[in-house]
Amino acid sequence: MIVTELEHKYPTQAVLKAVGLSSATYYRHRSKPVRADHYSQARSLITGKYSDGFLRVYGYRRIRNDFVKDYGMRISPKTVLKLMHEEGRLSRIRKKKPYSSHRGEQGHTAENVVARNFEASKPQRKWVTDVTEFYVLGQKQYLSPVVDLFNREVISYALASTPAMGLVTAMLEKAFTRLEPGAGLVMHSDQGWHYRHRSYQHALASRGIVQSMSRKGNCHDNAVAENFFSHFKEEFLRQNTFSSMAEFTMKLDRWIHWFNHERTQEKLKGLSPVDYRTQSLANLETTPY
């Protein structure tokens, strides 16, 4: 049945009968005022601010936290997820394919001191590290970061085209510039050959750092480092394009700065790692003893 534009606005009895509506029902619904969209501001932010730059990787929980903290919106996580569905704006599922640096039984292993307790009461109490492999511009690259378990802040990182010992050595040297004397630090890693190397173990022992290692072949024992690599690959690598290695390294440095200073985390009460550390230390200083 062909319905003209006029019949669509003022349908005849035949048209109403064809769609199974009485004229009374049709005009009653037609007379109802159009409801206002109470989530227009949230929709605008989802399709605007959270679709640009690094923020486009935010999931519904993190966006909801920002809505509450930055805009005072009383909105539930499920509502934010629904709005993101309706606006076609969802984060992609991360894919994991960890790099393995195990080369057999070489060097000495250390006890698993951390034992999956990925919490720390203060900064510089527990650091975790690992090496991941990835491709950029058709070239194989390796990233080695140090992450503080207190606030998930990236303390230092090194990048290289080969997983040589110099990669981890460069990472350590940068991290040690931020380490306060007598911090009582535990440094956790997997059983990769870098961490069983004599020079690595000597660098830790000479500074009074306790070495900790995951059990063999158990990635869950170093879950925080693996989680950071997942964010790095999904939120940075898959969301950006690069015309040169110089551009890649520049953008990587910008992304890690953003990760530390601006990227909010639900675990950190909706704050960024640096903001969480700053507020926590300020609270400790003002707490009476």
Assess contact for 120 and 149: CB atoms under 8 A: yes
Would you say residue 93 has pLDDT above 60? no
Question: Which residues, in sequence order, are CB contacts of 275 under 8 Å at separation 6+?
Answer: 261, 268
Rounded CA-CA distance 38/87 in Å is 15
Pairwise CA distance, residues 213 & 190, whole Å: 5
| pLDDT tens profile 231-274 | 999 999 999 999 999 999 999 999 999 999 999 999 999 999 99
Angstrom distances, CA of residue 69 to CA of 65, 75, 96, 114, 140? 6, 11, 31, 33, 40
37 HSE (CA, 13 A, CB side) = 8
What is the rounded distance in angstroms from the CA atom of residue 203 to the CA atom of residue 207? 7
Query: Would you place residue 285 in the very low, low, confident or very high pLDDT band (cuts 50, 70, 90)?
Result: low
Paired tokens of 178: 């931020």
Quote the mean pLDDT of the chain: 85
Q: What is the pTM of this model?
A: 0.69
- Our measurement of the distance from residue 179's CA atom to the centroid of its chain's CA atoms, rounded to an integer in Å, reads 24
Q: Which domains does the chain have, with CATH numbers?
A: 1-32 (no CATH), 40-86 (no CATH), 126-286 (3.30.420.10)
Which residues lie across from 171 on neighbouring strands?
none
At residue 108, the pLDDT reads 87
Q: What is the pLDDT of residue 166?
A: 96
- Residues 51-69 have a mean pLDDT of 82
**pLDDT in the model for residue 57:** 78
Task: Give yes or no for residue 205 having a pLDDT over 50.
Answer: yes
Q: In the structure, what pLDDT confidence band is assigned to residue 289 with cuts at 50, 70 and 90? A: very low
Q: Is the pLDDT of residue 84 over 80?
A: yes
User: How far is it, in rounded angstroms, from Cα 171 to Cα 155?
Assistant: 9
Distance CA 263, CA 48 (A): 17
Residue 163 to residue 66: CA distance in whole angstroms: 38
pLDDT tens digits, residue range 146-155? 999 999 999 9
